[in-house]
Amino acid sequence: MQKMLHINADKCTGCMQCEMACAFENYGTFATAKSRIKVFDFHHTGKKVPYTCTQCDEAWCLHACPVEAITVDKATGAKVVNESTCVGCKVCTIACPFGTINYVQETGKVQKCDLCEGSPACAEACPTGAITFIDANWTGLGKMAQWADKLGNQPSAS
């Protein structure tokens, strides 16, 4: 079953454990500057929102790459950067409408979320369940449940 990262921003506290976990997984150091997932703290509303690649099926980054450095991991559905093929032209960073593939000046290549081969470190590290890794076909299940609750659990008149 293919899974995907699900973000419930209501639960995010801004702790940055996800960013550290991502960097530790990929670079062996706790470096939020190297994380592929970023948490955005909207001061005016108090909301914290983690954001990263949503693994487009028809991915702009994959199609834009002139050397076919981005391929699909069949098992996870993730779009993965092959660093030895990547030439660092950064066209993918321009093509992606969501900004979730970015250049890494220290290596000269680009990086993006690759779902950690099916065990995403960010979801593992998140203490509140703001980031979960769930059935890709049913990311709406949580919200459906909330509304089904309102519909079905009306107080009865009798």
- Segment contacting another protein by CB under 8 A, of 46-54, 68-76, 84-92, 140-148: 46-54
Q: Applying CB under 8 A, which of residues 2, 8, 32, 54 lies at the interface with another protein?
A: 32
Nearer to another protein, 17 or 52 (CB): 17
Separation between Cα atoms, residue 128 and residue 13, nearest integer Å: 8
Q: Which residues between 103 and 142 bind another protein (CB under 8 A)?
A: 106, 125, 127-128
Separation between Cα atoms, residue 50 and residue 18, nearest integer Å: 9
Q: Supply the minimum distance, in Å, between the C-beta of residue 72 and another protein.
A: 30
Q: Check binding of 29 to another protein (CB under 8 A).
A: yes
- Segment contacting another protein by CB under 8 A, of 39-47, 58-66, 68-76, 135-143: 39-47
Q: Applying CB under 8 A, which of residues 1, 43, 157, 158 lies at the interface with another protein?
A: 43
Residues in contact with 155: Cβ distance below 8 Å, sequence separation at least 6, in sequence order: none
Nearer to another protein, 27 or 64 (CB): 27
Q: Helix (H, G, I), strand (E, B), or coil: what is residue 157?
A: coil
Q: Provide the sign of the torsion angle of the four alpha carbons 6, 7, 11, 17, taken in this order.
A: positive
Q: Are 110 and 86 in contact (CB under 8 A)?
A: yes
Torsion over CA of 11, 28, 111 and 71, rounded to 10 degrees?
Answer: -100
Q: Provide the sign of the torsion angle of the four alpha carbons 51, 2, 115, 20, taken in this order.
A: positive
Separation between Cα atoms, residue 7 and residue 109, nearest integer Å: 27
* Window 54-93: contact mask with another protein (x via CB under 8 A): ----------------------------------------
Interacting residues toward another protein by CB under 8 A: 10, 13-17, 20-21, 23-24, 27-34, 43-48, 106, 125, 127-128
